[in-house]
Amino acid sequence: MYRAGHVGAALLAYTPLGVVAALAGYGTVAIVGAFVAVSLSTVPDSDHQLPMIDHRGPTHTLLFALLVGAGLAGVTAVFVSTSSPVADVGTVAFAFVVGTLAIVSHLLADAITPMGIRPFWPVSDRHYTLQLTRAANPIANYLLLALGVVTSLAGVGIVTVVG
């Protein structure tokens, strides 16, 4: 998929988490989480600029998703300073989930293309694909973006009505 499709996939994957965070009273954290998820949604495709790294290679794995989540949690741990250690742990854990989820959403979006992904590399070289659409299909990319935006707007509606 292209940028629009990956942004839509990130919104689609993040919205339930954001709604739960907002309903729990962490509206600002939920909004920041959405921006972070969208910002990280195309990071795996940075492999296009990395010499000697195959596209949809190491950056398109669950291991990479966990590393991004851990990195975001680490950065968050440095900057979080509250009076409660429980809030600190919760915020760092939330950052880990957001970082991991952003990359996993990318993997899922790429898994619907014929090129697919090898999510368990280096443990397994098995290839996974649903072969639903080509990555370059503008209709599929904008449909995924629209689905993500509509889901996010529905999430905002739920928070507005319930919260």
pLDDT, average across residues 138-162: 98
Q: Is 117 helix (H, G, I), strand (E, B) or coil?
A: strand
Rounded distance, CA 159 to CA 156, Å? Answer: 5
Structure tokens at 45: 């495709």
How big is the CA angle at 93 (ends 78 and 125), to the nearest 5 degrees? 105
pLDDT digits (tens, 9 = 90+) for 118-147: 999 999 999 999 999 999 999 999 999 999
Looking at 52-137, list the stretches that DSSP marks H as alpha helix, in order from N- to C-terminal side. 62-79, 85-111
What share of the chain in percent tops pLDDT 90?
91
pLDDT digits (tens, 9 = 90+) for 73-110: 999 998 887 667 766 899 999 999 999 999 999 999 99
Peptide bond into 122 cis (omega under 30): yes
The torsion angles phi and psi of 82, rounded to 5 degrees, stand at -120, 175
161 touches 22 (CB < 8 A): no
Q: Is residue 64 scored above 80 in pLDDT?
A: yes
Contacts of 157 (CB under 8 A, 6+ apart): none
